[in-house]
Amino acid sequence: MAYHTLRQEYMLMPPVTRAYTTVCLLTSIAVQLDVVSPFQLYFNPLLITQKFEIWRLLTPFFFFGTFSFNFLFNMIFTYRYCRMLEEGSFRGRTADFVYMFIFGCITTVICAWFVNLLFLGHSLTTMFVYIWARRNPYVRMNFFGLLPFRAPYLPWVLVAFSVLLGNSVLVDILGIAIGHLYFFLEDVFPNQPGGRKLLATPRILYAQISRSLRYFSKKKNIFK
């Protein structure tokens, strides 16, 4: 009974959130079991360009560390804000959501090329948080039940929390900067006099996502 309930809840997750969080969880399990090493996953421009280890353009976004409080905290935030975006402002717009993912990953990789960042998933999560927060400016929140604030301040609360934990805030600041860039190009600039939409999702991506969703929908119906 518990298995069926868990499976049902898992299948109710929106597709992109389900896929991304599953890959992140499986990656951490693989590292925990010594199937792969973090040294095979981290972002290294020299190994990418000189040894053609192209997978390092993607794997840094999937590893949030081995099982620990920090891993749990990051996974909860990734799942929560990725899902709220996909079910909120991107509801019925899966291709646009995937395009936001692609924009975030490419921009993060370009920035990471010039700074010393090994794993990039935390920056991507911060980008999700920033975009969600800017699109929900009147939502009231509190941090561990102690500090009340409105949603737009959430990314900065997380920066302060990182400082308190003694962590580097570079990944948080990078995520905020990339989130702000996306928010400006997608939500602000098109509504300015003379502005236009610069992040139009390619038609080929719409077609591919539509085919994929139909395929997985049929598979899901078969195994019901």
pLDDT tens profile 35-52: 999 999 999 999 999 999
| 100 in a structural domain | yes
pLDDT tens profile 136-194: 999 998 876 677 889 999 999 889 888 887 777 899 999 999 999 999 999 999 988 88
The residue among 201, 205, 224 whose CA lies nearest residue 213 is 205
| 198 in a structural domain | yes
Q: How far apart are CA 23 and CA 82, in angstroms?
A: 14
Radius of gyration, CA atoms only, the chain = 18
Instruction: Name the strand (E) or helix (H) holding 213.
Output: helix 203-222
| 193 in a structural domain | yes
pLDDT category, 206, cuts 50, 70, 90? confident
| 24 in a structural domain | no
- Please state whether beta strands 140-143 and 147-150 pair in parallel, antiparallel, or not at all (unpaired): antiparallel
pTM of the model: 0.90
Range of the domain at 76: 67-223
| 79 in a structural domain | yes
| 55 in a structural domain | no
pLDDT tens profile 63-74: 998 888 888 888
- Domain total of the chain: 1
> Residue 121 corresponds to which tokens in the numbers above?
């998933």
Residue-wise DSSP of 6-31: HHHHHHHS-HHHHHHHHHHHHHHHHH
CB atoms within 10 A of CB 115: 9
| 195 in a structural domain | yes
| 108 in a structural domain | yes
Instruction: Name the strand (E) or helix (H) holding 143.
Output: strand 140-143
Within its chain, how far is the Cα of 126 from the centroid?
A: 8
